[in-house]
Structure 1
């Protein structure tokens, strides 16, 4: 009489599906990790390490607040004639032009004649909505976008989705910390990049879904629109 276990026993048959399920889960997690790593590398490849002047002038300039030297760099571009007017988007509600002029005393003339302040934007998506209103009011068809290099990919996603008919020219601000040390040697910078990459992916997914008519969120106070894909959608 054989004492070997019967492969056809209920316990053995039940174990096999569980084993395949575990293998499938592990394989899926490994593929997701590889895809995320490849995407992160692609995200990093979009980040500029040095500041370069815009290749051409534009109708206007918009700077998204939140990082060091963004506003001062935008003012320099305005002073150099790269745009007719500047929108500073995301200004704190309690701040006004005098607060900015104190930090940029050499820009008083420009602040009084050629700078508009947006105090309602609270994130990148609302930055895009307010910039769209500003550009439409003035008939601008091209904008220089000023923000930090790590924030630029997400900013372009949001702005191009909000204004598919406006030409966007990126001007990436490179902070001192980015210049002084490689990002992979700083835990804080690495965490910042991971966080920004996650937000960038989320923005890309939301925009792509909206392009095929799955815009399930309201458009920042404007009526929600379920739009089908058009030739202009980005």
Structure 2
């Protein structure tokens, strides 16, 4: 009886992991306009995609959440080719977040301060489910979130760790209910 139960648990885990790897979220297909774009730091291509969203006029403002406290706005602007005018009007660097959960908290505060009603979440494909889940738990119901995943070439270790972080995040989310 116990052996069958454990076998079932392992089978569910394997099927879940395979689903996680095979069905990674994709970039947003439609050019939907939102009030803002949110970019948690941590993966290649995320900030470039967020800036592309701004350049195309698909969002008016951008929050880069989880920026290292050592980074100065001028350094950020130089690294990513952002004009001083664009930085002043449209790009906010958030220094409060240190992980995905605090990215969601930092985002929720910024969304409230800026009266954002719709946003585009730009993060790596393997990170999207967990980041969006944390935002869903943190943001008010009236805020619409468009998921815009940045494709990656994640290795097995990254996928394995992220799958377990997703499971833990979901378990913690159920515990919060």
For the pair 1:89 / 2:65, whether they are aligned, the reply is: yes
1:200 aligns with 2:166: yes
TM-score by length of 2: 0.92
Instruction: Provide the residue aligned with 1:78 in structure 2.
Output: 54
- The 2-side partners of 1:198 and 1:89 are apart by 23
Tell whether the 8 Å contact from 2:35 to 2:59 is kept in structure 1 after alignment. yes
1:168–1:45 distance in 2 versus 1, CA, 3 Å: farther
1:76-225 pair list within 5 angstroms? 76-165=52-141, 166-175=143-152, 178=153, 189-211=155-177
Structure with larger Rg: 1
Question: Which consecutive unaligned segments of at least 5 residues does structure 2 have?
Answer: none
- Backbone CA RMSD of aligned residues: 1.7
Q: Secondary structure at the match of 1:195?
A: helix
Q: Which has the higher contact order (CA 8 A, sep 6+)?
A: 2
Q: Are the equivalent residues in 2 in contact too, given 1:58–1:82 (CA < 8 A)?
A: yes
> Which residues of structure 1 form unaligned runs of 5+?
1-23, 184-188, 212-234
How many pairs align? 176
Q: Alpha-carbon deviation of 1:149?
A: 0.4
